[in-house]
Structure 1
């Protein structure tokens, strides 16, 4: 049985209990036939709205105490007319038929469903509201760019927008700085350098470029450190650490100029280092990465001493094998790397395989909780030839020290 529970100037709202669900309807006062139009079904904290888009037919609000302000509680879709119009009429990808909005789930595409994080959606609507005096085409561009950033597989062209000068200058404040990433700083720096050339101020360009480079370094290292600390807490598999080092090592260790995709090089071996890096002088280093929780040493009660665990012994043996094979096949390796890295416009990389090193990253100082353990580990580590053993939290301290040095400069 439908019961009235709300009335507006033009509408009367009714609700009906159906099992464990509540169904809400609207009725237009001017409708002579008094037709009930279903707005949504509610089950617990989830709301299910029918949507009359060209392809999107349902919008689900997941885990909300009440309907968020970004969405119409009367069944008309998104509260922002531009966003609503876009998803209703412009979004014609037939592979998408449903939207789920949530505060917890990250924005992503799963089969025929788009998951939109409420904060992402709120940021989108804020950006369109800033352009309220601009033409509707500009707003549509912002929405398309938002979708391209989060769902690159959707076929929309990314376009730059031309915001007015007053809007840009109004937003050049501390609040904006706090939100900028290293890439943002670099982009602004490039723009500034180009703009400064208009007035032939070489001294100003040089000074500002140096400042921008320093800020970009600081922001980059801060991002890297934050991700590194997050990984340390998660204790992920070795593949996650390999991905992290592959993406960031040339940013936080400026000794290295190149990464080599060793698996593409015909060296005749089947076991590869996790990373192969070339320093600024052309010398090669190999990296082997284990988990940050890898046990390092164990106690020999009969000799009252400590020795490497099985996992560490195996990775040291593997490192020794890399060093041996690279020395034995130095000429063929050098030639293969040069050929593999050659492009149409550039020659391949010349590398020097003379006394190469292997850097093993594994374990942490948490295990070395006594002076005796620490001293035995130090002796074991220093006994390795051409192998550098680095603990994960030691590397974190190196990153933090590097950040401090840049800030001081």
Structure 2
């Protein structure tokens, strides 16, 4: 055995027997002068020891020189993140050996993972780029804090993450789960600005349509999640009113505008929960009751089902809205136009001709027999200009709408 190399901390020795040369290291500070085996080599390969939980060897196939990405002193990969990954992440993966090859393609072969030099070089380039970007971002964040706290210090604010490859690599489905609504809106605004780079109108239309579809999907998913929670909790009517007031124009494309009816001089003191204008300018009145409201009751004397007291009251209530709206159609329309007029926009022209009232109430779980279902169907169809929508029916509509958008996408 002869010494062939010396570093600041190590002595390197070689021992040759026939065509095989074994290489060892010795720590200079080791009083016992113990030598640790690093690798063996011949004309065809270098076989390195590796201290992985399952992977025990790194084989360098047909080497011209010892590759720079593997430590020649027996410490595995020169890049620490590679070392840690291959040491600790291959339990029960049927992989025992890494083969690094300049000529063979990357693939799994038996219990070996063959990794081509070019794939490894590309990976290391991305890791280094990520690390450089991270270090640059840290510097920028520190500088921006100084700018924010000490404006008199002569630094300029700098935007972070301007590395294109880094940004594109991080645009994946896992990122979506971590984004807030405001952050998604920020990305959407950037997307719209990015489309201006292209002068071809068909490209802009395609990109904008894609953004719209994705925005619809994200919005509907959020609405459905909140709706399901409300349906489970059976909250007060005011809670449902807040939900519909915020979201109905997002999930029902018929409607383009909500009217703040209470600010309009109509001469009445009782107001619908929601007043909505559809795409044709027609007005609908919404009345919201609790999802647990009883729908129908049984009449023992006539052996039939009739509206519950709560439903009868709300039918009477919305009928009154409709009657007053028809009697005062012209003045109502003028009041709405005057109220919605702004400095830059004309007021809203609406049509109060045979307006509809939509009652959102109850749940189909009350209709647990065929007779109840049929009676409820007959009762709801007997009403003129009044439509019943059960809360779970509306949830089903939302889910179907989401599925349709996903399919079209």
Give the TM-score of the pair, scaled to structure 2. Answer: 0.61
**CA contact 1:181–1:220 (8 Å) conserved in 2:** no
CA distances 1:322-348 after superposition (whole Å, capped 9, x unpaired): 000000011110111111111111111
Structure 1 residues 182 and 221: alpha-carbon distance in aligned structure 2, compared to 1, 3 A threshold: farther
Give the distance between the partners of 1:261 and 1:407, measured in 2 at CA. Answer: 33
SS at match of 2:138: coil
After TM superposition, the structure 1 = structure 2 runs for residues 76-225 of structure 1, keeping only pairs within 5 Å, are 131-136=137-142, 138-139=144-145, 162-166=159-163, 168-180=167-179, 184-225=183-224
Give the distance between the partners of 1:140 and 1:208, measured in 2 at CA. Answer: 39
CA distances 1:353-408 after superposition (whole Å, capped 9, x unpaired): 00000000000001111111111111110001100001000000010111111111
Name the residue aligned to 2:152. Answer: none
**1:138, CA displacement in angstroms?**
3.0
**1:192, CA displacement in angstroms?**
2.5
**CA contact 1:182–1:217 (8 Å) conserved in 2:** no
Name the residue aligned to 1:249. Answer: 248
Name the residue aligned to 2:58. Answer: none
Give the distance between the partners of 1:284 and 1:189, measured in 2 at CA. Answer: 32
- Superposition CA RMSD, Å: 2.4
Structure 1 residues 252 and 140: alpha-carbon distance in aligned structure 2, compared to 1, 3 A threshold: farther
Structure 1 residues 365 and 139: alpha-carbon distance in aligned structure 2, compared to 1, 3 A threshold: farther
**1:257, CA displacement in angstroms?**
0.7
Give the distance between the partners of 1:141 and 1:222, measured in 2 at CA. Answer: 39
**CA contact 1:258–1:278 (8 Å) conserved in 2:** yes
Give the distance between the partners of 1:281 and 1:142, measured in 2 at CA. Answer: 51
Are 1:233 and 2:232 counterparts?
yes
Give the distance between the partners of 2:141 and 2:217, measured in 1 at CA. Answer: 38
Give the distance between the partners of 1:165 and 1:312, measured in 2 at CA. Answer: 59
Structure 1 residues 398 and 165: alpha-carbon distance in aligned structure 2, compared to 1, 3 A threshold: same
SS at match of 2:140: coil
Name the residue aligned to 1:382. Answer: 381
**CA contact 1:182–1:216 (8 Å) conserved in 2:** no
SS at match of 1:134: helix
* Structure 1 portions without partners, runs of 5+: 1-127, 144-159
**CA contact 1:185–1:215 (8 Å) conserved in 2:** no
SS at match of 1:133: helix
Q: How many residues end up aligned between the 2 structures?
A: 266
- Larger deviation, residues 377-386 vs 174-183: 174-183
Give the distance between the partners of 1:141 and 1:387, measured in 2 at CA. Answer: 61
Give the distance between the partners of 1:336 and 1:275, measured in 2 at CA. Answer: 17
**CA contact 2:258–2:277 (8 Å) conserved in 1:** yes
Name the residue aligned to 1:7. Answer: none
**CA contact 1:225–1:399 (8 Å) conserved in 2:** yes
Name the residue aligned to 1:310. Answer: 309
SS at match of 2:358: strand
Which structure would you say has the larger Rg? 2
Structure 1 residues 344 and 381: alpha-carbon distance in aligned structure 2, compared to 1, 3 A threshold: same
Structure 1 residues 218 and 130: alpha-carbon distance in aligned structure 2, compared to 1, 3 A threshold: farther
Name the residue aligned to 1:366. Answer: 365
Name the residue aligned to 1:321. Answer: 320
**CA contact 1:182–1:220 (8 Å) conserved in 2:** no
Give the distance between the partners of 1:337 and 1:352, measured in 2 at CA. Answer: 10
* Structure 2 portions without partners, runs of 5+: 1-133, 150-156
**1:175, CA displacement in angstroms?**
1.7
Give the distance between the partners of 1:277 and 1:299, measured in 2 at CA. Answer: 35
**CA contact 2:325–2:352 (8 Å) conserved in 1:** yes
Give the distance between the partners of 2:198 and 2:352, measured in 1 at CA. Answer: 49
**1:174, CA displacement in angstroms?**
2.7
Name the residue aligned to 1:400. Answer: 399
